[in-house]
Amino acid sequence: MHVSVVVTTYNRPDALRAVLVGLLAQRDRDFEVLVADDGSRDDTRALVLGIAAGAHLPICHVWQEDRGFRAGAARNRAGAAARGDYLIFLDGDCVPRPDFIARHRQLAERGWMVAGNRILLSEAFTRAVLEQRLPIHAFTDAQWRTARARGEINRTLPLATLPLGPLRKLGARRWQRVRTCNLGVWADDFRAVNGFDEAFEGWGYEDSDLAVRLLNYGVRRKEGGFATAVLHLWHRENDRAREGENWRRLQQRIAAGTVRAELGLDRHAMA
């Protein structure tokens, strides 16, 4: 099973660098990286190309014009270019630990998507991590306990790895809390639902919509917590002007049992 990691980014090359460094430190090296760039400036392109030049795995920069928050379209462009059997969606401010790919591979199962979770870093700690280029992807449990005691992260429990077995499938029909900052899905399932719906522009619910349509297609949700937690760097909240409109659109999809995106992956099949 070949894995493609789709990393979404927008004008935050310092955070993206930390994410790519974490991916290059993975114990499992059988994967490719596609940076889904929602219209960043040239410094992001330069960063990606520079890291890719010395990397031991393929790293591709997939850019689109900046026309506001269009994360779904950026992910679709990268997803259309991906060669993997399995897609892992990761945000460009979510740093993976060295076993991230291995744990996702272990949990991957036909007919299921894997919804991972995250640890939130404080604003001050995030600033220190980025300015000092701290290798948080390689922090020990003791270092994280210290960070928690200092209030630098919100919790440590998700950093534990637990063999939950059948418990991972208890929320099989639940779309809530499925976030594409950490989500594994089979590429053919992603294609079957036509990827992200680009009708969701602006912040809000494009990942929930994908989860709902995957569930309607027959894919079930497996819990990726206590195995795949990522380290979420602090950022200011996005503009939520479109949140209400996107929420209403999501509720319509739930009521209608929609499977395929209206404006989706097939728009980029020949890109």
| pLDDT above 90: residue 62 | yes
Residue with the larger pLDDT of the pair 248 and 106: 106
Residue with the larger pLDDT of the pair 239 and 126: 126
pLDDT tens per residue, range 174-216: 998 899 999 999 999 999 999 999 988 776 788 999 999 999 9
Q: How far is CA 41 from CA 27, 126, 248, 251, in A?
A: 31, 22, 33, 35
Average pLDDT over residues 57-68: 95
Give the three-state DSSP class for 96.
coil
Q: What mean pLDDT value characterizes the chain? A: 94
pLDDT tens per residue, range 213-233: 999 999 999 999 999 999 999
Rounded Cα–Cα distance for residues 108 and 75 (Å): 20
pLDDT over 70 for what percent of the chain? 97
Rounded Cα–Cα distance for residues 6 and 75 (Å): 7
Contact 51, 22 (CB under 8 A): no
Rg over CA atoms, the chain: 18
Q: Which residues contact 22 (CB under 8 A, 6 or more apart)?
A: 95, 96, 97, 98, 100, 137
- How many domains does the chain fold into? 1
Q: Which domain holds residue 82?
A: 3-268
Tell the burial category of 145 from Cβ atoms under 10 Å away from its Cβ (0-12, 13-18, 19+). Answer: middle
What CATH code is carried by the domain that includes residue 45? 3.90.550.10
Instruction: Report the b/e string of 245-263 with b at 16+ CB within 10 A.
Output: ebeebbeebbeeebbebeb
Q: Of 71-80, 117-126, 170-179, where does mean pLDDT reach its minimum?
A: 170-179
DSSP assignment of 190-249 equals: HHHTTSS-TT--SSSSHHHHHHHHHHHHT-EEEE-TTT--EEE---PPPP-TTHHHHHHH
The pLDDT value recorded for residue 238 is 63
